[in-house]
């Protein structure tokens, strides 16, 4: 499961930089003293030990994953156990089933969840709120932007946080997903949860 990056003993976290909030993720990782790398082409992948898929537009990223020849190699790495963390659009890309997506939208099917895009509404409905996360005190102040909703989660999916009746942070083996944006919260604790597993 552990892959050693070349030329350094320090683990490198890749951030998928096709479109979206990749800079915010890099900023959080930097504050945690974790080395990060923007991933745009297959040549970037051998240098990373884990991968974050940021928020943004999942339809845009889906098309760029194909045109940049990244879909198959990333799918293989996830299957081999590379830790991945998807936030918002990144969660959609990792989900088994997408509701209200485009017909040609691809996903990695890496976690047994069914997600609905933009289920919390348009931007005027975007919100911030405190979310109780398993093992984190105090609560995490989460930012939801045109957020997707997890409608169903399979039995092997571990629920780490819920908001109201909705699961908002979940894990299945090497795959961690959040429907909100921990990269926008000036709080590195959820990234720490992820980095710890690498």
Partner 1 sequence: MAKREAEKTSKTVTGSMTVKRGLAEMLKGGVIMDVVNPEQAKIAEDAGACAVMALERVPADIRRDGGVARMSDPEMIEGIQAVCSIPVMAKARIGHFVEAQVLESLGVDFIDESEVLTPADEAHHIDKLMFTSPFVCGATNLGEALRRISEGAALIRSKGEAGTGNIVEAVRHLRSIIGDIRKITQADSAELFEWAKRLQAPLPLVQEVAETGWLPVPLFCAGGIATPSDAALAMQLGAQAVFVGSGIFKSDDPAPRAKAIVEATTHFRDADIIAKVSRNLGLPMTGIGMDKIEQRYAERGW
Nearer to partner 1, 88 or 190 (CB): 88
User: In the complex, what is the shortest distance from the CB of residue 98 to partner 1, in angstroms, rounded to a whole number?
Assistant: 11
Catalytic residue among 112, 128, 134, 181: 181
Residue 88 among the catalytic residues: yes
Tell me the two tokens of residue 136: 């984190």
Q: Which of residues 149-168 bind partner 1 (CB under 8 A)?
A: 164-166
17 binds partner 1 (CB under 8 A): yes
* Dist CA 2 CA 126 (whole Å): 37
Q: Which position among 3, 42, 97, 127 is part of the footprint of partner 1 (CB under 8 A)? A: 127
146 binds partner 1 (CB under 8 A): yes
- By the 8 A CB rule, do 77 and 111 touch? no
- By the 8 A CB rule, do 104 and 130 touch? no
Q: Which position among 177, 184, 190, 193 is part of the footprint of partner 1 (CB under 8 A)? A: 184
Tell me the two tokens of residue 143: 């930012």
* Dist CA 119 CA 72 (whole Å): 28
Q: With CB under 8 A as the contact rule, which of the stretches 1-9, 124-132, 153-161, 171-179 interacts with partner 1?
A: 124-132
User: In the complex, what is the shortest distance from the CB of residue 194 to partner 1, in angstroms, rounded to a whole number?
Assistant: 19
The Cα angle at residue 140 between residues 59 and 186, in degrees rounded to 5: 75
- By the 8 A CB rule, do 62 and 93 touch? yes
Q: Report the catalytic residues.
A: 88, 181, 183
């Amino acid at each position: 499961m552990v892959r050693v990056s070349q030329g350094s003993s320090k683990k490198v976290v890749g951030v998928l930089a096709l479109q979206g909030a990749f800079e915010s993720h890099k900023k959080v990782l930097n504050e945690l003293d974790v080395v990060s790398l923007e991933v745009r082409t297959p040549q970037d992948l051998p240098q990373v030990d884990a991968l974050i898929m940021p928020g943004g537009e999942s339809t845009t990223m889906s098309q760029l994953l194909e045109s940049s020849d990244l879909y198959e190699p990333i799918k293989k790495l996830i299957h081999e156990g590379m830790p991945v963390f998807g936030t918002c659009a990144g969660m959609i890309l990792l989900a088994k089933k997408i509701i209200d997506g485009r017909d040609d939208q691809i996903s990695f099917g890496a976690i047994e969840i069914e997600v609905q895009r933009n289920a919390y509404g348009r931007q005027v409905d975007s919100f911030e709120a405190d979310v109780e996360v398993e093992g984190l005190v105090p609560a995490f102040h989460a930012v939801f932007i045109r957020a997707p909703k997890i409608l169903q989660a399979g039995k092997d999916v571990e629920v780490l946080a819920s908001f109201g009746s909705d699961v908002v942070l979940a894990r299945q083996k090497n795959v961690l997903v959040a429907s909100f944006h921990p990269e926008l919260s000036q709080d590195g604790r959820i990234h720490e949860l992820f980095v710890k597993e690498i």
